[in-house]
Chains A and B, each alone.
Chain A
Amino acid sequence: MADIAHSPAALKRAEAEAAAKPRARGASQARRLAGGGLIDRQKPLSFTFDGKRMSGFAGDTLASALLASGVGLVARSFKYHRPRGVLTAGPEEPNALVELRTGARLEPNSKATTVELFDGLVAKSQNRWPSLRHDVGAVNGALSPLFVVGFYYKTFMWPPKAWEKLYEPAIRRAAGLGSASGVPDPDHYEKAWAHCDLLVVGSGPAGLSAALAAGRAGARVILCENDFMLGGRLLSDAFEIDGRSGAEWAQGAIDELAGMPNVRIMPRTTVFGGYDGGTYGAVERVGDHLPQPSEHQPRQRLWRIVAKRTVDASGAIERPLVFPGNDRPGVMMAGAVRTYLNRFAASPGRRVAVFTNNDDGWRTAQAVLAAGGEIAAVIDPRGVPEAFRMAAAGWRVIEGEVVGTKGTLDALTSVEVADARGGVVTVPCDVLAMSGGWNPAVGLSSFHRGRPVWKDEIAAFVPGKCPTGLTVAGAAKGDLSLGACLQEGFSAGAKAAVEAGLSGSPGEPAQAADEPVAVRALWEVKAPGKAGQKAGQKAFVDFQHDVTADDVRLAQREGFESVEHLKRYTTLGMATDQGKTSNVNGLAILAEAKGEKIPETGTTIYRPPQVPVAIAALAGPNRDEHFHATRLPPSHHWAAKRGAVFVDVGLWKRAQWYPLAHEKDWLESVNREVLAVRNGVGFCDVSTLGKIDVRGRDAGAFLDRVYINTFSSLAVGKARYGVMLREDGFVMDDGTTSRLAEDHYFVTTTTAKAGPVMQHLEFCRQALWPELDVQLASATDQWAQFSVAGLKTRDLLQNLVDPAEDLSNEGFPFMAAREVKLRGGMRARLFRISFSGELAFEIAVPARFGGSLAENLMQAGAAFGVTPYGTEALGTMRIEKGHAAGAELNGWTTAGDLGFGKMMSKKKDFIGRVMAGREELQRPDRPAVVGVKPLNPADRLRGGAHVLPRNAKLGPDTDQGFLTSVCFSPVLGRWIALALVARGRERHGEVVRIYDPLRNGDFEAELCNPVFYDPEGARQRG
């Protein structure tokens, strides 16, 4: 049998190395084989585990380096704090979880079996105190009769108050595996998209064959491999393909694929989920194998891969056997033992016993011998299979089952075996390699509610109905032998290429013999052994969550008979390994307890992600200040230069106020800005308001149907305020609309609703009234639009506009809108509208001139003390004027509530008209917008405070509304508010109670006309 780890060339090289520097690094790697392995002995790496300095080689995982260094005890289990070693050699590992790195990069629950070793790696065992060897928590194991399944539900029930104060904090301290760093992740993460004809998941014999066939045919192929090395089990097993060793063939295949421009090979990339339409999620660990990511590179990259076809070649996972004492360090998966010997040249122990119910386990015995180890015994309830009769000559073979284990804290010393004649013998050994058969990795193929189906022949579930476009090949399909893997992978790849429309030749499939893979199901060893009985050894099903076979039976007796209930009650399969080694054993034991067949019991539902994915990878670049895209209005740079304070309004950054050096707080700045406008002139960038060009022959008729009031009658050159309802009768948005030409309206929306209103108008145009000729274009970003307001507005603008323009009250009356020329040759739009209640215009120029507009307004208004103002002053002035805004247009107010009832046309259909007429929305005690001023001018109002009748008892039945918008009015010299209060309009003058328990507010105030300032509106028309 060819053996990749012990090929003659490798052996010779290793011998030469050993002769050259005897024991050079061997001192700390006592269990490293002298030769072989796919590690780079020229690149020694140093690392620490629990503070102890150790070494390994490039190509090692942390687990293989620990094993090579003779470390047996690696972790403590979750519930009982039992000593645990390395069980597997892959991502299914339940035991060997460590905290990796330190400081901000600390990462708990890292699987030592997948952590690629790097120089300077720092790893720490977790879930133990004070140390791995002396763990106080291990007392839980002694108390295990208390910690039965459902323990939390049963124990921490009474008294009810104790949960929050006592139980939960205590449990939270004790539970959880590793600890988080508690500081922000210093690395960055990316997201990216990829597209292909064929996605191949897994690079074992099936995956490589699929990629080769499709790649040769010309298909765009993406090959994802979870490991840092491609080849899958070809790296671990002594196979022969096309007359070469499996590893050599794999290298040849990889070289061929790497030479194809249409093939993208992605190592260190885990496909974690399959989604609708052939979209797959994958995480590429770009920098996880480095002490820290390379400069300009992310730590991890989240891929969304869109694939026309997918070949799932993710292989199979070996199943543990359930027997007393099966969790002791030194008990390992048989396939993992081969991986450590062959791929990593790391020996888990010298004397190896094998306990298997299938042919594959016997190959571990062969690998142990080939690596110079000793076979303590091969234990198989079936006796010697025919295929191994020759090879096993001279081996100690016991037809029986392991019924107990003995050992120290970190090593196995012997196992107890019950043989077929009823005797119990002790077999001294330092490793027990176990194999309960192989479970196809059905995760990916079972998404979209596919249910795996039972296959007796291999005693495992195989994929059932797969997601559209996905084919399973090789071991993942339950066809475990090498020849089948190569053939199926090839066929699936070739077929995918044809389906993608490619006609190139896929070449020839690789050939290999089909090795024996026979199995006889063995779910749980029940024969009693002396050691097992005496010590009351537990037989573990889920190693990570410490769920035993007895727990499964207890849960079943207590009525948790559905596999979904069993899972949640016992937490079987809910740990970070998601039950990859435990689920099938668990449900087989459940089926037996229920007296059912396994397929009747069934599996739980599979959902992505099938391996844990860091939240940081899902967030990608969207964190901190890049959480979402930012929009900057045209005057942003100008405002920043003036030292404006900015506020986030949706995605926009808007100037909130412009502080002067001497001002001690924001209120002082805002009061100055308000008074400057009221007494002189100021300007504010209002470009963030949504702007929509509505054009077409039916533009007027269209607007009549979406607004409560009429726009077809609006004269060209005029603006009108409008309110839009939703079809359910509530207010959607408001804004002014100007008619710039017969078939051209310029609609403005609130800043927040620009997008939703556009979507709504498109719906009306395309879905409701396709007969109308209307075209819509967003013009929000096209115009730098500033509000210029205050007594001196006309004086300022006169300096800026072309002398030929008439801005007088007659020449440019209130609510006029038209194009004007500005000095310096600029074209502009001017709208005489006012939000502040002062004489005001909005002026708009093309956005590229927004900075210049600000400069020029400053210049034109210098003589009048022109003052730029921000959103706070804007808000203060609109509250003083009683204008409803976002806080009042809150989605559950009607036009009537806001005082626009009379605007609702009765001569036409419009969106929301009928529903707005419903009786409930006409009730006289609906909330209405009202003004509020405290009786004591020193009292400070705050938004959200409740309004109750004077002297009312506190309670929800006396609550009559709340304050929606609050500001300090510098004109009135007091805090004022707008509120939505039941029957508010009829109650002007009434004294009410303002109650704000969160901020200690409880005082009296008077309800009043919401227009606090210039209620006649003389100023804005002046």
Chain B
Amino acid sequence: MAEFAWDAAPPLGGVFVAGRSGAAAGSPGVRLEERRGLSLVQVMAHRGKWPAVEAAAESLFKAKPPARPAALFADRATLVWSGPGQFLILGAGDGFADPLAPYAQAFREAASLSDQSDGRALIRVSGRHARDTLAKVSSLDLHPAVFPVGAAAATSVDHTNVGLWRAPDAADGAPVFDLLVFRSFAPSLWERLAASGAEYGVDSAAGDFSEAA
């Protein structure tokens, strides 16, 4: 029997065409990027074990995990709060290797881990009209004074759970937001974002998580 090929299909594969859409005049006001190739582990502390979780995270990432809504950009991963006693470890992954393996030992006594690498899609919204675009889908106040770099929220978009955080600004100073959404909803959310940004001009792209800043 021949070997079987396993091709990773990104959640938004075939959903959009990279390049310009919406208003054509001027430079695009918003950039939508699917960040592919995720490893995503949900860490859920055992009852009363948050201190142990902190210790384990520090040993792995040299940083305390967020205990309140926040995103932390550590050397090897991004840690994003996802609920009381919970956070997500975001890194690069090809889907073949078990994403829990690097962390299972450290958290063994402290937390339950759940593999979400294929359960979510990551969409990056950036550009000078990123906030205007997101205001059409999100009820959050994303004003820079209220939602600085590193702020995060577990929230809803279109009645769907979304993790939303602000990554460091782009080189041109424009804000950068990451939206983590259930994989099955991702095409629907992408279309809403593209439609919401259309009046500003949209630049769509796909990028690999491991290559992104």
- Cβ contact within 8 Å between A743 and B139: no
CA A314 – CA B23 in complex, angstroms? Answer: 35
Interface mask (B80-101 → A, CB under 8 Å = 1, otherwise 0)? 0000000000000001101000
Q: Which of A697, A824, A848 contacts B9 (CB 8 A)?
A: A848
- What 6 pairs across the A-B complex have the smallest Cβ distances? A695-B112, A782-B119, A777-B114, A775-B44, A631-B184, A195-B141
> Number of A-B pairs whose CB atoms are under 8 Å?
161
CA A697 – CA B198 in complex, angstroms? Answer: 50
CA A630 – CA B190 in complex, angstroms? Answer: 11
CA A800 – CA B96 in complex, angstroms? Answer: 16
- Cβ contact within 8 Å between A775 and B7: no
- Cβ contact within 8 Å between A629 and B195: no
- Cβ contact within 8 Å between B5 and A190: no
- Cβ contact within 8 Å between A824 and B135: no
- Cβ contact within 8 Å between A296 and B199: yes
- Cβ contact within 8 Å between A779 and B9: no
Given contacts A193-B139, A621-B192, A824-B3, contact A848 B96 (CB under 8 A): no
List 10 interface pairs A-B (beta carbons < 8 Å), by A numbering: A190-B136, A304-B139, A306-B141, A633-B184, A637-B14, A778-B182, A781-B119, A826-B6, A847-B118, A849-B7
CA A195 – CA B114 in complex, angstroms? Answer: 36
B69 at the interface (CB under 8 A from A): no
A799 to B, closest residue via Cβ: B1
- Cβ contact within 8 Å between B95 and A629: no
CA A848 – CA B96 in complex, angstroms? Answer: 10
Q: Which residues of B contact A629 (CB under 8 A)?
A: 158-160, 185, 188-189, 192
A385 at the interface (CB under 8 A from B): no
Interface mask (A842-883 → B, CB under 8 Å = 1, otherwise 0)? 000111111110011001100000000000000000000000
CA A297 – CA B141 in complex, angstroms? Answer: 23
Given contacts A195-B141, A632-B187, contact A779 B116 (CB under 8 A): yes
- Cβ contact within 8 Å between A825 and B6: yes
Q: Which residues of A contact B116 (CB under 8 A)?
A: 777, 779, 782
CA A845 – CA B146 in complex, angstroms? Answer: 41
CA A849 – CA B93 in complex, angstroms? Answer: 13
- Cβ contact within 8 Å between A192 and B118: no
Interface mask (A666-708 → B, CB under 8 Å = 1, otherwise 0)? 0000000000000000000000000001011100000000000
B10 to A, closest residue via Cβ: A848
B117 at the interface (CB under 8 A from A): yes
Given contacts A637-B9, A637-B13, A846-B117, contact A193 B135 (CB under 8 A): yes
In the complex, which of the residues A637, A772, A781 has the most CB atoms of chain B within 10 Å of its own CB atom?
Answer: A781
In the complex, which of the residues A190, A220, A848, A852 has the most CB atoms of chain B within 10 Å of its own CB atom?
Answer: A848
Q: Which residues of B contact A193 (CB under 8 A)?
A: 135-136, 138-140
- Cβ contact within 8 Å between A824 and B136: no
Q: How large is the interface on A (under 10, 10 to 19, 20 to 34, 35 or more residues)?
A: 35 or more
A918 at the interface (CB under 8 A from B): no
Q: Which residues of B contact A783 (CB under 8 A)?
A: 118
CB distance from B178 to the nearest CB of A (A): 17
Considering only residues 154-213 of chain B, those with a C-beta below 8 Å from chain A are 158-160, 182-185, 187-189, 191-192, 195-196, 198-199
Describe B's contact surface by its main secondary structure.
Answer: loop
- Cβ contact within 8 Å between A846 and B95: yes
CA A775 – CA B113 in complex, angstroms? Answer: 9
Q: Which residues of A contact B184 (CB under 8 A)?
A: 631-633, 652, 780-781
Interface mask (B1-32 → A, CB under 8 Å = 1, otherwise 0)? 11111111111011000000011000000000
Q: Which residues of A contact B126 (CB under 8 A)?
A: none
Interface mask (B126-156 → A, CB under 8 Å = 1, otherwise 0)? 0000000001101111010010000000000
A695 to B, closest residue via Cβ: B112
CA A194 – CA B182 in complex, angstroms? Answer: 26
CA A800 – CA B2 in complex, angstroms? Answer: 9
CB distance from A447 to the nearest CB of B (A): 20
A303 to B, closest residue via Cβ: B135
- Cβ contact within 8 Å between B114 and A693: yes
Considering only residues 959-982 of chain A, those with a C-beta below 8 Å from chain B are none
B99 to A, closest residue via Cβ: A846
Considering only residues 289-335 of chain A, those with a C-beta below 8 Å from chain B are 294-297, 304, 306
A97 at the interface (CB under 8 A from B): no
B-side residues, CB < 8 A to A, are 1-11, 13-14, 22-23, 42, 44-47, 95-96, 98, 111-112, 114-120, 135-136, 138-141, 143, 146, 158-160, 182-185, 187-189, 191-192, 195-196, 198-199
A773 at the interface (CB under 8 A from B): yes
- Cβ contact within 8 Å between A775 and B46: yes
A628 at the interface (CB under 8 A from B): yes
CA A193 – CA B134 in complex, angstroms? Answer: 9
Q: Which residues of B contact A195 (CB under 8 A)?
A: 141, 143, 146
In the complex, which of the residues B6, B14, B199 has the most CB atoms of chain A within 10 Å of its own CB atom?
Answer: B6
- Cβ contact within 8 Å between B4 and A860: yes
CA A851 – CA B139 in complex, angstroms? Answer: 35
- Cβ contact within 8 Å between A824 and B6: yes
CA A786 – CA B130 in complex, angstroms? Answer: 38
CB distance from B59 to the nearest CB of A (A): 21
Q: Which residues of A contact B45 (CB under 8 A)?
A: 775
Q: Which residues of B contact A296 (CB under 8 A)?
A: 22-23, 198-199
A638 to B, closest residue via Cβ: B9
CA A647 – CA B120 in complex, angstroms? Answer: 23
Given contacts A628-B159, A634-B183, 14 further A-B contacts (CB under 8 A): A188-B195, A195-B141, A306-B139, A306-B141, A621-B192, A637-B9, A696-B112, A775-B111, A777-B114, A777-B116, A823-B3, A824-B5, A849-B9, A851-B7
A41 at the interface (CB under 8 A from B): no
Q: Which residues of A contact B189 (CB under 8 A)?
A: 629
CA A195 – CA B142 in complex, angstroms? Answer: 9
- Cβ contact within 8 Å between A775 and B112: yes
CA A192 – CA B140 in complex, angstroms? Answer: 11
CB distance from B23 to the nearest CB of A (A): 5
Considering only residues 259-303 of chain A, those with a C-beta below 8 Å from chain B are 294-297
CB distance from B50 to the nearest CB of A (A): 13
Q: Which residues of B contact A860 (CB under 8 A)?
A: 1, 4
Q: Which residues of A contact B13 (CB under 8 A)?
A: 637
Q: Which residues of A contact B191 (CB under 8 A)?
A: 626
Given contacts A190-B136, A637-B14, contact A696 B146 (CB under 8 A): no
CB distance from B56 to the nearest CB of A (A): 15
Considering only residues 798-855 of chain A, those with a C-beta below 8 Å from chain B are 799-800, 822-827, 845-852, 855
Q: Which residues of A contact B111 (CB under 8 A)?
A: 775
- Cβ contact within 8 Å between B46 and A697: yes
